[in-house]
Amino acid sequence: MDSQPVHMPCPTRFAVDRLRSAGLRPTRQRIALAGLLFAKGDRHLTAEELHDEASGAGIPVSLATVYNTLHQFTDAGMLRVLAIESSKTYFDTNTSDHHHFFIEGDNEVMDIPMGSILVDGLPNVPEGMEIAHVDVVVRLRHKG
Amino acid sequence: MDSQPVHMPCPTRFAVDRLRSAGLRPTRQRIALAGLLFAKGDRHLTAEELHDEASGAGIPVSLATVYNTLHQFTDAGMLRVLAIESSKTYFDTNTSDHHHFFIEGDNEVMDIPMGSILVDGLPNVPEGMEIAHVDVVVRLRHKG
DNA sequence: CTGTGTGCAAACTCTTTGCATAAGT
DNA sequence: ACTTATGCAAAGAGTTTGCACACAG
C-alpha cells in the first residue's frame, strides 16, 4: 500500500517542511537544530545552550553555525529574540504575543500564561512613531 | 557675614553630599560622574556614553573607572540597570518604579510618564518565588 | 555542476580584573 | 600614614565575520 516509502522519522519531516516553507535549504544542521528547537513545545534558549544540546545529541555543529542558524530562523519569523538580560541573547520558539518571567539567580526564562497579564493605558506615543512591540518581564527571586 | 566661604560650585556640593550619605568616598572622579549623571534630570546612559561625556567635559577618567563607579552607584541605590537591549547595559538615574520606551534604530531610551501605563492581572507566581520587579518596555519604531 | 551553507579561527564589542600608582581622610 | 580608588592593559564572555571546504539541488 505504502507506495511512498518513508525513510525519515517524523520530526525530521516536520523540520524539513518548516524550513522549506521559510525558504531555507534543509541542511543537516538546520534540520537537526529545528528538530531540537521545535520538538518539545515552547523553549527559551541561548545559542550556547542549543549548541551544547546539539553536541550532546551527537550532532556536530559549530557554535558559529548555531548563531547563524538562530538568526536565519529569527529573520524567517520562526523565532523571537528576547532582550531580558544584558550580555545574553535568548531565542524564544513562541513568536506569538506573550510575556515572560525571568528568575534572577537561575537566569531562567518562563512564559507567562496568555491572558493572565494585562497592560492597559498605553501612553501617547511620540510623533511619527508607532509601537513595534510591548514586552513585559516579571522578574522573580527566590523567597526567604 | 558669610563666615563660611564657599569655594566650590553648588553641583559639586550636592554630589559630595550624595556620595557621603551613600558611604562612598567623594573622589574627583566620583564627584564629576555624579555631577554629570544627576545634574540634568532623568537620564539613561551606557558606560561608554558617560565616559565620552566626561572626556568631553575635560574630566579625564578611564572607562574601567566609569564601569566601576556605575556599579558602585547602582549598589548604593543611586542608579538602576536596564536590560532593554542585549549587548548594552543602560543605567537609569531614576530609581523609582517606572517603565520605558525604547526607540529601535536610534537605540534611545525614554521614560514613560508615570501613571500612564497600567499593568494588571499579574499572574500567579510559582511556589517560593516573589516578584522583584516588573519591567515594561514599549518598543517604538519610526512610522512609514 | 553550481551555488549556498558550514566550520574554523580570528576579529570585535562590551565588560571585568589585577596590580602598581595616586588620591582621600 | 593608612586605606581605598584609579588607570592601564590584559583577560574574559558573547557574538560576528572571512574564507576554504563540503553539501544540497
Q: How many CA atoms does the CB half-sphere of A4 hold within 13 Å?
A: 1
Q: Quick: pLDDT tens for B94-122.
A: 999 899 999 998 889 999 987 788 888 88
pLDDT of residue B133: 92
How far in angstroms lies nucleotide C19's C1' from the CA of residue B64? 14
Residue A122's domain comprises 11-140
Residue A5 in any domain: the answer is no
Residue B59 in any domain: the answer is yes
| Residue B32 binned pLDDT confidence (cut-offs 50, 70, 90) | very high
Structural domain count, chain A: 1
Is B119 an interface residue toward A (CB < 8 Å)? yes
Residues whose CB falls within 8 Å of the CB of residue A47, separated by 6 or more in sequence, listed in order: A63, A66, A67, A70, A89, A91
- Nearest to B111, CA basis, from B42, B31, B10: B42
Reading phi first (left if > 0) and then psi (alpha if -120 to 50, else beta), residue A20 is in alpha
DSSP β-bridge partners for residue A100: A111, A137
CB A129 within 8 A of CB B106: no
The answer, yes or no, to whether residue B2 has pLDDT greater than 50, is no
Residue A103 in any domain: the answer is yes
Q: What is the mean pLDDT of residues B76-83?
A: 95
Cell of B4: 563660611
Question: What is the mean pLDDT of each successive set of 10 residues along chain A, which is 144 residues long?
Answer: 50 88 94 93 94 94 96 96 91 94 92 83 88 93 90
Q: Quick: pLDDT tens for A6-33.
A: 444 566 888 999 999 999 999 999 999 9
Distance CA A138, CA B126 (A): 12
CB B136 within 8 A of CB A121: no
Distance CA B97, CA B117 (A): 12
Residue B5 in any domain: the answer is no
The answer, yes or no, to whether residue B44 has pLDDT greater than 90, is yes
- Nearest to A99, CA basis, from A85, A118, A127: A118
Is A105 an interface residue toward B (CB < 8 Å)? no
pLDDT of residue A6: 47
Residue B6 in any domain: the answer is no
Is B70 near strand D, with its CB below 7 A from some atom of it? no
In this structure, what CATH number is given to the domain that contains residue B95? 1.10.10.10
CB B84 within 8 A of CB B101: no
Interface test with B, best of A106, A136, A141, A142 (most B CBs within 10 A): A136
Q: What is the mean pLDDT of residues B49-69?
A: 95
Average pLDDT, chain B: 89
